Structure 1
Amino acid sequence: MHTFHSFYDCLSLESSMCLKYQCLARIQTDIVVEKLKELHPDVHFEIGKRSLSNIFVNVNIYILYIFVLKIGEKSLFTKELENALEKISFMVDLFVHSLKDLPTVLPEGFTIGSVLKRENPHDAVVLHPKHKGKFLESLANKSVVGTSSLRRATQLKKIFPHLEFKDIRGNLNTRLKKLDEKDGFSAIILAAAGLRRMDWENRISQILGPDDCMHAVGQGAQAVEVRARDQDILEMVSVLNDSDTVLKCIAERAFLKHLVGILLHCNTPHTSKFSASLLQSSVSHDPSEIILIC
């Protein structure tokens, strides 16, 4: 029997897995681990915990989390993880990411080994308890809605001009706590997929369809990143691929890669939606103006 080795919150085949330090990150990793256990019963998986800044070897396997309070650059935490993957390759073999967090161009030597079946890709409205039963359109004038995403704010301001959109940071737990325990926000906008994976679907007051807010590229999908040279690991994780999700996400990421290369800096809002074989997208240089590209 092989053992999956690594740090806490890391994992291995003697295989190891690393990810961001958040409850959601752990849950998403558990999803991958459970699927791998079913498909590879000869591999032993255990989960422990260590920080990236204080890595030391334990006897079995662990899953490495990085806690990022505020990200000034989209790929900041993925770069840190990739550094760990390269430097401690003897015990770290793969990472679990939210695909929307992965840059479209990975560093040389790294590749996406698999993309799992996509969860609901849309955004969700979570209301302050005092507004239970309402929707964005029924909130009072000047009500404050929290979102960490310029993409969301850009689109929603067009449709709900009576609302004010303000930045809110932190993981899901932190944002929900800020919403519930303070009066600063009437609602917050979060990814439906994260809420569902955290088993907080009961907090969803409204799902925002593509006519209200097109989701981010890759949103709702989980990706497993590996070293391109590790053929054994690639073969092991490739069976997790969901073909429909893979095809849609390839199209979305190809569009974004092309667009970023020509037009955009990394913080420009960009979104996508699928309808049959049509990829519909929106791009904005200025939050007051959305340009539709179909």
Structure 2
Amino acid sequence: MLPDLRIRIGSRTSPMALAQANQVRDLLTGQVDGLEAEIVGIQTSGDRWQGDLAELGGKSAFLKEIDRHLLSGDIDIAVHCMKDVPGDVPLPEGTAFAAYLEREDAHDVIVFPSGSPYGSVDELPAGARVATSAVRRKAQILRVRPDLRVDRIRGNVNSRLARFDTEQQFDAMILARAGLRRIGMEDRVGQVLPVETMCPAIGAGVIGVQCRTADTGVMELVRLLDHAETRTHVTAERTMLQDLQGHCNSPIAGHCTTAGDGRLSLIGMVFSPDGGTFAYAHEWDKPDRAPELGAYVAATLVRKGAHDIIGGIPH
């Protein structure tokens, strides 16, 4: 299937993205004796741009250069954090996600400065400054603490933490627990936010591996890494996201799990930017009906005003 026993792995160049690519490389080389796996770092326009992502076309700014390298044959596979894959932009024709690695912890967390007297969101005083990169996080934290001042901060996790520590302008920052774990900084976690307070991003904690569908050998190799339950959960979440037709400035959250009785459980939420208006849905279905569950939750959210909320948010 791979006559030259060589595969090129495309990835963004941030420390977390490279950690993800290294994880995929190690898993692949563990599947085939003698396989050589090279990581090809690709700096994207989204990584270079420090302004509002909406001006670059949203989250697709992190993907389009990598897609171009994949389609041109410069790389054989591309590794993505699934929460960065937009729902309103279709995958390039001839490509597919051959594998979703087993989901890591999907929770968001609060990080506090060294020596901070605070240990939770509840302890922060009125007017405290909180940093976040995501409109989803900003909307949800303001929903429970409208008295806080929440400012968006761009950059990869390492650069955001460096600014947070050196500039000392913020009392707290919200990050993904899985991201901190991947870069070896999980010790910075000050508080793990429950899903009821901070519903995760679509695809949170999941690494996806994208391939050209015509490369059957590569597809078959990568499929060995696919985690069936994670694929089911991501399918439900992304179906919901795609049906909602949100854009990069739409605060949308969704989290699918397998309940104790074996059924799929999907929570979906859509927020106004300040969190003051939101639509909520929580539905269950059989484990072989992930697309149907995602579509049903999206339809329920639309009935509860999701499209009105999304339509009122500037692109």
Same fold by TM (over 0.5)? yes
User: For each residue in 1:89-137, what CA deviation from the matched residue of structure 2 results, as whole angstroms up to 9, or x when unmatched?
Assistant: 1x41001100111133212111101000111011111101131552111
Letter in 2 for 1:148: S
Q: Which residue of 2 aligns with 1:26?
A: 18
Alignment of 1:1-294 (within 5 A): 13-45=5-37, 61-67=38-44, 68-70=47-49, 71=53, 72=56, 73-87=58-72, 89=73, 91-104=74-87, 105-131=90-116, 134-260=119-245, 264-275=246-257, 276=259, 277-287=264-274, 288-294=276-282
Between the aligned partners of 1:3 and 1:81, the Cα distance in structure 2 is 24
**Matched residue of 1:205: which SS?**
strand
Between the aligned partners of 2:101 and 2:219, the Cα distance in structure 1 is 14
Letter in 2 for 1:187: A
Is the CA contact 1:3–1:44 (under 8 Å) kept in the aligned structure 2?
Answer: no
% same residue: 30
Between the aligned partners of 1:143 and 1:83, the Cα distance in structure 2 is 43
Give the TM-score of the pair, scaled to structure 2: 0.80
**Matched residue of 2:48: which SS?**
coil
Between the aligned partners of 1:221 and 1:132, the Cα distance in structure 2 is 33
Question: What is the aligned-residue RMSD (CA, Å)?
Answer: 1.9
Letter in 2 for 1:284: F
Q: Structure 2 regions of 5+ residues with no counterpart?
A: 283-315
Choose 95-104 or 194-203, whichever is displaced more: 95-104
Q: Structure 1 residue runs of 4+, over 4 Å off?
A: none
Give the TM-score of the pair, scaled to structure 1: 0.85
**Matched residue of 2:178: which SS?**
helix
Is the CA contact 1:155–1:290 (under 8 Å) kept in the aligned structure 2?
Answer: no
Is the CA contact 2:234–2:256 (under 8 Å) kept in the aligned structure 1?
Answer: no
Is the CA contact 2:8–2:39 (under 8 Å) kept in the aligned structure 1?
Answer: yes
Structure with the bigger percentage of helix:
2
Q: CA deviation at 1:162?
A: 2.5
Choose 21-30 or 125-134, whichever is displaced more: 125-134
Is the CA contact 2:42–2:65 (under 8 Å) kept in the aligned structure 1?
Answer: no
Between the aligned partners of 1:133 and 1:40, the Cα distance in structure 2 is 49
Is the CA contact 2:9–2:25 (under 8 Å) kept in the aligned structure 1?
Answer: no
Between the aligned partners of 2:196 and 2:102, the Cα distance in structure 1 is 24
Letter in 2 for 1:214: C
Q: Structure 1 regions of 5+ residues with no counterpart?
A: 5-12, 46-60
Closer, same or farther in 2 for the Cα pair 1:3/1:199, shift >3 Å?
A: farther
Q: Which residue of 2 aligns with 1:52?
A: none
Between the aligned partners of 2:118 and 2:85, the Cα distance in structure 1 is 35
Between the aligned partners of 2:143 and 2:186, the Cα distance in structure 1 is 27
User: For each residue in 1:23-57, what CA deviation from the matched residue of structure 2 results, as whole angstroms up to 9, or x when unmatched?
Assistant: 11111111011111111113123xxxxxxxxxxxx
**Matched residue of 2:270: which SS?**
strand
Aligned residues: 266
**Matched residue of 1:265: which SS?**
coil
Letter in 1 for 2:122: E
Is the CA contact 2:108–2:177 (under 8 Å) kept in the aligned structure 1?
Answer: yes
